[in-house]
């Protein structure tokens, strides 16, 4: 990387700025958090943001978001499940789920079919294309999870996961 001189005379590298995570690690920890130091919700949210950003980066080549991935995984594990059951299990508003399913259906990843048990309901299934895509997604998601385990440490990751399962 070539260097150039900045207005203050200091040498600067040309090119892109370092990734956000690297900039955050280098940021001095001079700001006090006050009572946030004891707020679990604050730190859970910070972790959630980091996890989602890393997930999105990890699966960027497949253009998939965490909620879409979760829906596909649940449909695979419960083929023929109703939209209402998916929404309830994943805690997604029904209207939002419908839009999400519309997008997955347009991409040819899922198909809605009339439920054999309730004609007012749709059964959700993965298409063959969706099965192939999900297989690739799972490989990338596994790499993302391994990155998270490296960052947290395997024991801390297991402890956090066990605690959070109580709220799912």
Q: What is the pTM of this model?
A: 0.78
Query: What are the structural domains, with CATH classification, of the chain?
Result: 42-56+63-165 (1.10.10.10)
d(CA 7, CA 101): 52
3-state secondary structure (DSSP) of residue 67: helix
Whether the CB-CB separation of 81 and 67 falls below 8 Å is answered with no
d(CA 125, CA 40): 38
Whether the CB-CB separation of 25 and 100 falls below 8 Å is answered with no
**pLDDT tens per residue, range 60-72:** 999 999 999 999 9
How confident is the model at residue 10, as a pLDDT?
A: 45
d(CA 28, CA 26): 6
How confident is the model at residue 120, as a pLDDT?
A: 78
**pLDDT tens per residue, range 13-26:** 444 555 655 655 56
Fill in the DSSP letter of residue 59.
Answer: T
d(CA 51, CA 41): 15
d(CA 54, CA 163): 21
Radius of gyration over every alpha carbon of the chain, rounded to an integer in angstroms: 21
d(CA 72, CA 100): 11
């Amino acid at each position: 990387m070539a260097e150039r001189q900045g207005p203050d005379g200091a040498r600067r590298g040309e090119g892109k700025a370092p990734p956000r995570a690297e900039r955050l690690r280098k940021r001095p920890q001079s700001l006090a958090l006050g009572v946030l130091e004891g707020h679990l919700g604050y730190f859970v949210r910070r972790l959630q943001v980091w996890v989602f950003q890393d997930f999105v980066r990890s699966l960027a080549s497949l253009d998939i978001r965490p909620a879409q991935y979760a829906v596909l995984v649940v449909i695979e594990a419960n083929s023929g499940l109703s939209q209402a059951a998916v929404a309830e299990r994943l805690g997604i508003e029904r209207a939002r789920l419908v839009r999400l399913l519309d997008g997955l259906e347009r991409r040819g990843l899922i198909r809605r079919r009339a439920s054999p048990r309730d004609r007012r309901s749709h059964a959700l299934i993965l298409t063959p294309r969706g099965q192939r895509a999900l297989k690739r997604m799972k490989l990338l998601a596994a790499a993302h999870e391994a990155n998270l385990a490296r960052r947290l440490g395997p024991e801390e990751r297991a402890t956090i996961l066990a605690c959070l399962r109580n709220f799912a």
